[in-house]
Amino acid sequence: MPSPTRDSFPSLAPPMTTQLHPPPSPRTHRTLRKLQSAHNLGAAARITSQPQLSNLSSQLRLHDMHSRDVSPTRRQALNRSPQRHRANSDATPQHLLGASSSISLASKRTALSRTSAAADTMSLDRLIREGPPDGDLGGALESMRIKVLDQGIKSDSDGMSMSRIYAWLIFLNAPILPTDSYIRLVHRGASPAYSKIRNDTFRTLTTDPLFRRRVSEASLIRLLNAIAWQLHDTNEERRPSSSRQSLPASSGASPSRSDLSQGMASSPAAKNRARALTLTTEGSEANASEPGTYVQGMNVLAAPLLYAARSEAEAFAAFQQLVIKECPGYIRGAMDGVHRGLALVDKALAIVDPKLSLYLTSKGLTAEIYAFPSVLTLCACTPPLPEVLRLWDFLFAYGPHLNILCIVAQLVMMRNDLLGSTSPNKLLRSFPPLHADQIKRTALAIIKMIPDDLHDEIVNHSL
């Protein structure tokens, strides 16, 4: 694929003339929030025109790192060599905790794809603001990843950063989204999933004062309701025209449709089918092409995006790219992608630390029991929030699929406590506070130990 031109890069990042300012304070009354209260969505105006989200050219696909082909470049980008020696399964995993801390910048660069020498000399903020020097998009992206891996994204003690959301949008290859497109989705009123959303949002990160101070529940409701409309529209477009059912823009005019949906979800047949799908990690091939729907847990997945973004529209652009393009399996059917990920946590742990794996298994503990929230939310369910943001810098730079190995890394970091406990289930009810840097170092060491076929499964499990 030919390298994208310099002119293509501003579609991924702010224009050169854009001045970055500190994020608004929690007291700032945003214009967007004046549009309507989330509690009055049912009375929103009817919008007949469907929002059209623009798509980027295929040339702007983020280099080889976000292609879902299991290619040598993706393996190289994570410092994996096809000729590496397989790890001895009897080796003690204690070496993991400091194994990757000695990886030098030079050795990383030799393993990564080609970087841009000019971009290497620029700060991350400047690179985002001015775009790739000499039009070398691929090299600039690799330089950005190196900077994120080595230096992280500069932020204050609360995790706030002027450039984080822009780096995330670039790494996620988020399409250009006019703010009006998001506003139109908000103005359509309550989506078919509105009652489920309202049942989740008030419980989102309730113990985190940073999140509660900066992000209102109304903002979270609007974002989730907008993505629910987006998923609904995509589902309707894919259904045969003869089977489509029109849904009014305002939920207040369609109580019968809402009642019908709730009745179907609560029917015995539907419950039995959902349970049967939940008990398998294989997923449903018939649903492989469906875009998904709102599921419980998306509220926690959206929370860090709203916290880091400077507007709801920015958070929406990143969120829809994350759940629709990067992790569609997490919101499809019975969340088959999540269950595949849980099975991979067990499989990777058995290779990395057989003793710990056997001990947890002997206690009846599998990832299905203790790691479901961590897989679904990319570890956003584990505080503190500033550490979640730093971990997401790494995940978005190199692929959200690496969350599986980050969960294994946390288990390895808890190894002594788990093996020394007669009731490890008590320790696993809530993971210890995140330490993003240590998790990253351990995950980078773990990835060298897993076989290629398991790595390929991890890369593709969320599709």
Provide the percentage of residues in the chain whose pLDDT is more than 90: 55
SS3 416: helix
Which among 223, 249, 189, 217 has a CA at the least distance from the CA of 36?
189
pLDDT (0 to 100) of residue 136: 83
pLDDT (0 to 100) of residue 342: 98
* Res 231 pLDDT > 80: yes
Bigger pLDDT: 315 vs 32:
315
**Mean pLDDT for all residues in the chain:** 74
The model's confidence at residue 241, banded by pLDDT at 50, 70 and 90, is: low
The model's confidence at residue 339, banded by pLDDT at 50, 70 and 90, is: very high
* Res 97 pLDDT > 80: no
pLDDT (0 to 100) of residue 333: 79
Please tell me the distance from the alpha carbon of residue 33 to that of residue 222, in angstroms, as a whole number. Answer: 9
pLDDT (0 to 100) of residue 368: 96
* Res 193 pLDDT > 70: yes
* Res 37 pLDDT > 90: no
* Res 33 pLDDT > 50: no
Please tell me the distance from the alpha carbon of residue 447 to that of residue 463, in angstroms, as a whole number. Answer: 20
The model's confidence at residue 135, banded by pLDDT at 50, 70 and 90, is: confident
pLDDT (0 to 100) of residue 294: 93
Bigger pLDDT: 202 vs 90:
202
Query: What is the number of other CB atoms lying within 10 angstroms of the CB of residue 16?
Result: 9
Query: What is the number of other CB atoms lying within 10 angstroms of the CB of residue 175?
Result: 17
Q: Find the mean pLDDT for residues 278-296.
A: 54
Q: Which residues, in sequence order, are CB contacts of 331 under 8 Å at separation 6+?
A: 231, 292, 293, 294, 295, 298, 323
Q: CA angle at residue 308 from 171 to 408, to 5 degrees?
A: 65
Please tell me the distance from the alpha carbon of residue 80 to that of residue 283, in angstroms, as a whole number. Answer: 29
Give the end-to-end CA distance of the chain in Å, rounded to a whole number: 23
Question: How many Å is the maximal CA-CA distance in the chain?
Answer: 64
* Res 242 pLDDT > 70: no
Bigger pLDDT: 265 vs 116:
116
62 contacts 171 by C-beta, under 8 angstroms = yes
The model's confidence at residue 134, banded by pLDDT at 50, 70 and 90, is: confident
pLDDT (0 to 100) of residue 95: 41
Please tell me the distance from the alpha carbon of residue 98 to that of residue 456, in angstroms, as a whole number. Answer: 25
Q: Which residues, in sequence order, are CB contacts of 118 under 8 Å at separation 6+?
A: 133, 134, 136
Write the pLDDT tens digit of every residue in 205-220: 999 999 999 999 999 9
* Res 34 pLDDT > 90: no
The model's confidence at residue 291, banded by pLDDT at 50, 70 and 90, is: low
pLDDT (0 to 100) of residue 142: 92
pLDDT (0 to 100) of residue 113: 55
Single pTM value for the model: 0.71
Which among 324, 329, 326, 370 has a CA at the least distance from the CA of 346?
370
* Res 181 pLDDT > 70: yes
Write the pLDDT tens digit of every residue in 294-332: 999 999 999 999 999 999 999 999 999 999 999 999 998
Query: How far from 355 is each of 88, 91, 360, 424, CA to CA, in Å?
Result: 13, 10, 9, 14
Long-range own/partner contacts, residues 83-90 (CB < 8 A, 24 or more apart)? 84/448, 86/449, 86/451, 87/351, 87/352, 87/448, 87/449, 89/351, 89/354, 90/354
The CB-side HSE value for 340 (13 A sphere, CA atoms) comes to 25
Residue type for 241, please?
S
